[in-house]
Amino acid sequence: MAVDGLDLAVGGLSAELRRRALRLFGRSLHIRTVDTGSCAVCESEIRLLASPHYDLHRLGFFFTPAPRHADLLMVTGPAVRAADNLLLKAYEATPDPKAVIAVGACALGGVYPEDSLVHGAVDRVVPVDVFVPGCPPSPVALLQGLLVVVGRLEERVRTLSLDLDAGRAG
Amino acid sequence: MTHAIGALALAAAAGWLAAAGVAGVGAVRRPGLRASALLSGAGGGAAAACGVLLAVHGAGTTVRLGAGPVGGASFEIAPLAAPFILLLGLVAAAIALYSPRYHEPGQGTAVYLAVYNLALLASLAVLVAGNVVAFLVAWESMALLCYLLILRHHKREGVAQGAFLFVALSEIGFLMIVLAFAILATQTGTLDLATIAARSSGVHAGWRSAAYVLALCGFACKAGLVPFHVWLPAAHPVAPADGSAFLSGLVIKLGVYGIALFGFTLVPGGPAWWGLLTMGLGAISAVLGILYALMERDLKRFLAYSSIENIGIIVTALGSGMTFTAYGQRAIGAFLLIVALYHSINHGTYKTLLFLEAGVIEHATGTRDLDRLGGLIRRLPRTAVICLIGTVAIAALPPLNGFVSEWMLFQGLFQGFRISSHLVGILIVIAGALIALTGGLAINAFARAYGIPFLGMPRSGPAAHAGESRQPVAGPALLAGACVFLGLGAPLVLTALDRVARSATGLDIRSVLLVPKLTVIPAHTDFSGFSPTYLALFLLAVTAVPILIFLAGRPRARSRRPPVWDGGILSFKPRMQYTATTHANPVRVTFEPLYRPSVHVERASDDPAGRSGPVHYRFHVTPIFDRYLYRPVIRLVRALADLARPIQSGDVNLYLFYVFVVVLIAYAVYTL
Amino acid sequence: MAFWFYRGVRRGVATTRYPPTIDSWTRGLPSPPAFHSARLTAALVDGLAHACPAGALAREEHELVVDLGHCTGCGECVDLGRGAVVPSGEFLLATSDRAALIKRVPIRGDSETSDGG
């Protein structure tokens, strides 16, 4: 699978969100991570984002511990019900305009089904703007997710096809 | 004008006498209670007016009554008493506004209010006493009436003990005062105070020193200076709130008045060591007072220790004033006397306010324990605002009166370099450093004393259900207004105090104290100066600018108000907050050699995390003065008494033998 | 000088652009599966769906439904697929549309006229 050069054009679906986010956040985005019961491997990958190799600071992204200073909530974990209070309070405490990015297979509904202990997917608790699959998503995938949120990168998965034999007559 | 002053003083006295009578008869019912409060307040107003006029006019009057076997009583309203008379009037007026809502009408209240008004009368008599007899009679009456005040709730725990300590130390002090006056009276041959003052320079220096030291120790017992202070934290908290306010706001200032009377009027111009001794006692009292205050959980005991601290500051000002005068720096000496008088008024104002509000808190919540209170700013909003003004004043924060007087004290002390003796200069610097330490600790202490009860969440049920509906507000509000006026209008007040100081020291320092632009200058124009009035205006302007910017540039969009971010925990419990004990922990750890605490920890099991049961932590400050000063003295007295006991054996024959021996001796002396 | 300051304040803090090329070592990262639809049979797909621990695979009629959001990249389906399933190498999968992560692959291996192999 060859990977094309990535450009920074604004575009794709949800252009309204992209345009709005781009105008509001520009190139300075403050991220607050919320762990709703993950195994912490996603957190390890998130932590690597600040390392010199990936260095999200050069792109204008910063981590902040206080939701009051955050523009973006990065949520991991399968939304364990015991963490409802935590997630909802953090969501409420983050001033508008804000975005939520759900990171990892757990947060997207895989691995743990909905039952008495977990919601299963983060978007059952708070509205999610961008989903980043992976277990864990590598820091490159996380960076792509962040740039998709602020509209600096185009989404790639919409036009992705997993059928290798498509185009051949069946 | 002098007639007006005398008439006002008489009016105050008459008002309080009438109030005592009305209270004694009528305060079993609410109208009688109100009537006596009205008369008491009227007396207070008259006294305050008398004080103001006296300070402004600068000269007093004399009234003589009778000539009994010890020379009769004479009353002289001298300018040095003016600030204290003003304070007495202000305190009486505020308490008069406060007491109808605080006390329940009844027999006990009737007796209490009668005693209280007579105590006001006795205090006025102390301040206007013109000869030794009048002074001593008034002093002792005032002390005994205050003892009865403290015993109002005599069946409660700790009251009898506190009252006993009060009267014991009061009597010890009285003994020393009597000796001091006796020395002066016999050495100058007169009982009249003005004549003693005129003739005292002719008395031998040793007698003068003895008189001053005795007077200092005697009045220190009343003022509450270390090491004579042990009665203050025992007695002031157990009296009713307005009684505590009266005691802490006024009665201890009478001790200060006594020291000032001796140091500046009766035996003025003493050697420097008098001033240094006074200053040392004051500085040590200030530091120790605030250090012990920080360890207190009981709000009223805390305020009592804070009174010790402020008395220490006042007496430091007096002592350093005497030192400067002894070295020829008379302008600075007069300046420091003004500082002492001004701080007396200031402390009287805000300490009375705080004690009255402590009474309101105790009535509203049923407890004085800081660790049980919390969140009162929402339940008692008016009380909270008034208490805030009092707390800002006592913590010496600009622009209120506490800040002005402490600033002036520091400016006076910093001019110690003008003294020729280097040793004395260094001692004055040390005193200044101790007062600075006190100031810092006081801010810590009062942040704790205001923050723990008023802010945060209620730490107990009664605190959560406090109500303000029937609590007194007018009295404390009057005092809060007085704090603001005394601070912003400091130039006016200091002009009046300057006239008082002039009569005491003979020096008019208004020309070097105030320039006509509302500025205060500490006795030498090349040193420093500031204006409390302009400072207040500046602070208002500075806070107004961001407010105006906010109002003008407010975003038009609707905003939402989420709750305070608490880290996402499920529920915030009151037990998660700071307590008064933990707030003072840094000070406790730093000064541990002074406190020598005994700590007792009890666990339900050996589990260090305490999972199987509660952990009890008890902390107790060792009372070093009690243990190392008073108990040995008491043991000595008991030992001596045990030695003398055999004389009183109960055997009639032995008593007859005593009579026989005495008759023999009398016969021998008569014939020889 | 003022121009750059103004531009920086308006545009935000970023100093460089995102790298235009991806490092070569990323080729080995775990990724969701890609399918040779010509070799998929209904039986095989049922087996894969049963084996997937994250519940990312399911069969609907003649289609294999892959939920990329659920996939953890464990490789169980690749092991079972016997050549019909290979790692896709795609890991830049962020999207704002959850439905875009659900991909459908037709099952073409059941028909008699398959190419075989």
- What's the pLDDT tens digit per position in B264-297? 888 888 899 999 999 999 999 999 999 999 999 9
Whether B614 has its CB under 8 Å from any CB of chain A: the answer is: no
Look at residue B595 in the predicted model and tell me its pLDDT. 87
Task: For chain A, give the percent of residues with pLDDT over 70.
Answer: 82
Query: B306 pLDDT exceeds 90?
Result: yes
Closest-CA residue to B56 (of B79, B78, B76): B79
Span of A67-71, B491-495, C55-59 with lowest mean pLDDT: B491-495
d(CA A158, CA B475): 76
Smallest Cβ–Cβ distance between C94 and the set A59, A132, A170 belongs to A132
Domain ranges of chain C: 33-110
From the candidates C16, C17, C45, C92, which should be mutated to test the interface with A, based on the most A CB atoms within 10 A? C92
User: Which residue's entry shows tokens 């060591």?
Assistant: B273
Query: A10 pLDDT exceeds 60?
Result: no
* Per-residue pLDDT tens over the stretch B221-242: 999 998 899 999 999 999 999 9
CB contact under 8 Å between B568 and A66, yes or no, is: no
Q: Is the peptide bond before A97 cis (omega within 30 degrees of 0)?
A: yes
Query: B625 pLDDT exceeds 90?
Result: no
To the nearest whole Å, the CA of C78 is away from the closest chain A CA by 13
Whether C34 has its CB under 8 Å from any CB of chain A: the answer is: yes
Report CA torsion sign: B455, B461, B464, B469.
negative
Give the pLDDT mean for B97-121: 91
Span of A107-121, A146-160, B32-46, B425-439 with lowest mean pLDDT: A146-160
Whether B565 has its CB under 8 Å from any CB of chain A: the answer is: yes
Look at residue A65 in the predicted model and tell me its pLDDT. 93
- CATH code reported for the domain at A29-153: 3.40.50.12280
pLDDT level of residue A164 (50, 70, 90 thresholds): confident
Span of B270-284, B608-622, C73-87 with lowest mean pLDDT: B608-622
Span of B352-356, B458-462, C43-47 with lowest mean pLDDT: B458-462
Specify whether the CB–CB gap between B12 and B46 falls below 8 A. yes
Query: Both tokens of residue B548?
Result: 């105006």
As a whole number of Å, the end-to-end CA separation of chain C is 67
Span of B146-150, B380-384, B399-403, B647-651 with lowest mean pLDDT: B647-651
Give the pLDDT mean for B87-101: 93
Specify whether the CB–CB gap between B530 and B113 falls below 8 A. no
In 10 A of CB B329, how many CB atoms? 22
From the candidates A89, A125, A126, which should be mutated to test the interface with B, based on the most B CB atoms within 10 A? A89
CB contact under 8 Å between C91 and A111, yes or no, is: no
Q: Which residues contact B362 (CB under 8 A, 6 or more apart)?
A: B241, B299, B300, B368
Whether C106 has its CB under 8 Å from any CB of chain A: the answer is: yes
pLDDT level of residue B462 (50, 70, 90 thresholds): confident
Query: B464 pLDDT exceeds 50?
Result: yes
Query: B649 pLDDT exceeds 70?
Result: yes
CB contact under 8 Å between A141 and C94, yes or no, is: yes
d(CA B415, CA B431): 12
d(CA B113, CA B105): 10
To the nearest whole Å, the CA of A118 is away from the closest chain C CA by 15
To the nearest whole Å, the CA of A155 is away from the closest chain B CA by 32
Q: Are strands C57-60 and A130-132 parallel, antiparallel or unpaired?
A: unpaired
**Cα angle at B400 between B397 and B404, to 5 degrees?**
80
d(CA A127, CA A130): 10
Query: C117 pLDDT exceeds 70?
Result: no
Per the model's pLDDT, the better-predicted residue between B672 and B160 turns out to be B160
C-alpha B621: how far from its chain's center? 23
If phi > 0 it is left, if psi is from -120 to 50 it is alpha, else beta; for residue B650 that is: left
To the nearest whole Å, the CA of A36 is away from the closest chain B CA by 11
Query: B331 pLDDT exceeds 90?
Result: no
Query: B451 pLDDT exceeds 90?
Result: yes
CB contact under 8 Å between B565 and A93, yes or no, is: yes
pTM of the model: 0.81
Q: What is the mean pLDDT of chain C?
A: 82
Query: B385 pLDDT exceeds 80?
Result: yes
- Looking at beta carbons, which residues of chain B come within 8 Å of A67? 565
Most confident of B40-44, B456-460, B463-467, B521-525: B40-44
In 10 A of CB B403, how many CB atoms? 22
Whether B568 has its CB under 8 Å from any CB of chain A: the answer is: yes
Q: What is the mean pLDDT of chain B?
A: 88
CB contact under 8 Å between A27 and C11, yes or no, is: yes
pLDDT level of residue B71 (50, 70, 90 thresholds): low
d(CA B669, CA B666): 5
d(CA B14, CA B31): 20
Give whole-number Cα distances, A34 to A31, A106, B98, B130, in Å: 10, 13, 55, 79
Span of A53-67, B560-574, C92-106 with lowest mean pLDDT: B560-574
Residues B414, B416, B422, B426, Cα dihedral to 10°: -40
Give whole-number Cα distances, B166 to B127, B170, B230, in Å: 21, 6, 9
Smallest Cβ–Cβ distance between A90 and the set B560, B568, B570 belongs to B568
Query: Both tokens of residue B270?
Result: 């003493």
From the candidates B564, B570, B571, which should be mutated to test the interface with A, based on the most A CB atoms within 10 A? B570
Look at residue C14 in the predicted model and tell me its pLDDT. 57
Between chain C and chain A, are at least 3 CB pairs below 8 A? yes
- Looking at beta carbons, which residues of chain B come within 8 Å of A85? 568-570
- Looking at beta carbons, which residues of chain A come within 8 Å of B569? 85
CB contact under 8 Å between B568 and A68, yes or no, is: no
Give the pLDDT mean for B529-556: 85
Give whole-number Cα distances, B300 to B236, B323, B600, in Å: 7, 34, 25
Look at residue B609 in the predicted model and tell me its pLDDT. 67
Beta strand residue intervals within B467-513, DSSP E: none
Look at residue A99 in the predicted model and tell me its pLDDT. 87
Look at residue A16 in the predicted model and tell me its pLDDT. 65
In 10 A of CB A24, how many CB atoms? 14
Question: H helices of B103-204, where?
Answer: 107-127, 132-150, 159-188, 193-199
Specify whether the CB–CB gap between B340 and B317 falls below 8 A. yes
Residue A160 exposure: Cα atoms within 13 Å on the Cβ side: 30
For C33-110, the fitting CATH number among 3.30.70.20, 3.40.50.920, 1.20.120.10, 3.30.70.3270 is 3.30.70.3270
Q: Which residues contact B211 (CB under 8 A, 6 or more apart)?
A: B180, B181, B183, B184, B187, B262, B266, B267
CB contact under 8 Å between A86 and B568, yes or no, is: yes
Look at residue A23 in the predicted model and tell me its pLDDT. 59
Give the pLDDT mean for B212-217: 95
Residue/partner pairs of B477-480 with CB below 8 Å, 24 or more apart: B477/B382, B477/B386, B478/B90, B478/B93, B478/B94, B478/B97, B479/B90, B479/B94, B479/B349, B479/B350, B479/B352, B479/B353, B479/B356, B479/B390, B480/B353, B480/B386, B480/B389, B480/B390
Query: Both tokens of residue B362?
Result: 């105790």
Query: A9 pLDDT exceeds 50?
Result: no
Q: What is the mean pLDDT of chain A?
A: 82
Give whole-number Cα distances, B513 to B283, B432, B523, B525, in Å: 25, 21, 5, 8
Look at residue B360 in the predicted model and tell me its pLDDT. 93
Specify whether the CB–CB gap between B334 and B507 falls below 8 A. yes
Look at residue B120 in the predicted model and tell me its pLDDT. 94
What ipTM describes this predicted complex?
0.79
Residue of B nearest to A86 (CA): B568
d(CA B88, CA B182): 28
**DSSP symbols for chain A:** ---PPP-----SS-HHHHHHHHHHHTB-EEEEEEESS--SHHHHHHHHTTSTTT-GGGGTEEE-S-GGG-SEEEEES--BGGGHHHHHHHHHHSPSS-EEEEESTTTBT-SS---SSB-SBGGGTS--SEEE--SSPPHHHHHHHHHHHTTSS---GGG---BTTTTS--
Task: For chain B, give the percent of residues with pLDDT over 70.
Answer: 94
Give the pLDDT mean for B175-185: 94
Give the pLDDT mean for B112-129: 93
User: Which residue's entry shows tokens 């305020």?
Assistant: B303
Smallest Cβ–Cβ distance between C71 and the set A105, A145, A163 belongs to A105
To the nearest whole Å, the CA of A85 is away from the closest chain B CA by 6
Per the model's pLDDT, the better-predicted residue between C114 and B102 turns out to be B102
Residue of B nearest to A65 (CA): B567
Query: B526 pLDDT exceeds 80?
Result: no
Closest-CA residue to A127 (of A79, A165, A81): A79
Between chain B and chain A, are at least 3 CB pairs below 8 A? yes
Closest-CA residue to B130 (of B74, B183, B180, B179): B74
The values of phi and psi at residue B204, to 5°, are -60, 145
Look at residue A106 in the predicted model and tell me its pLDDT. 93
Q: Which residues contact B329 (CB under 8 A, 6 or more apart)?
A: B415, B418, B419
As a whole number of Å, the end-to-end CA separation of chain B is 61
Whether B570 has its CB under 8 Å from any CB of chain A: the answer is: yes
As a whole number of Å, the end-to-end CA separation of chain A is 22
Using DSSP, state whether B426 is helix, strand or coil: helix
Closest-CA residue to B256 (of B345, B137, B129): B345
d(CA B79, CA B506): 12
Residue of A nearest to C111 (CA): A170
Chain A contact partners (≥3 CB pairs within 8 A): B, C
d(CA C60, CA C44): 13
To the nearest whole Å, the CA of B555 is away from the closest chain A CA by 13
Give the pLDDT mean for B18-46: 88
Residue of B nearest to A34 (CA): B568
pLDDT level of residue C112 (50, 70, 90 thresholds): very low
Greatest extent of chain C over all pairs of C-alpha atoms, in Å: 73
Domain ranges of chain A: 29-153
* Per-residue pLDDT tens over the stretch C2-54: 787 777 667 665 566 666 677 777 777 888 999 998 888 889 999 999 999 98
Give the pLDDT mean for B359-373: 90
Query: B24 pLDDT exceeds 90?
Result: no
Using DSSP, state whether B39 is helix, strand or coil: helix
> Among residues 299-338 of chain B, which lie with CB inside 8 Å of chain A?
none
Closest-CA residue to A30 (of A74, A64, A66): A64
Residues C65, C69, C71, C72, Cα dihedral to 10°: 180
Look at residue C8 in the predicted model and tell me its pLDDT. 67
User: Which residue's entry shows tokens 């008459």?
Assistant: B14
Query: Both tokens of residue B574?
Result: 């009151």
Whether B562 has its CB under 8 Å from any CB of chain A: the answer is: yes
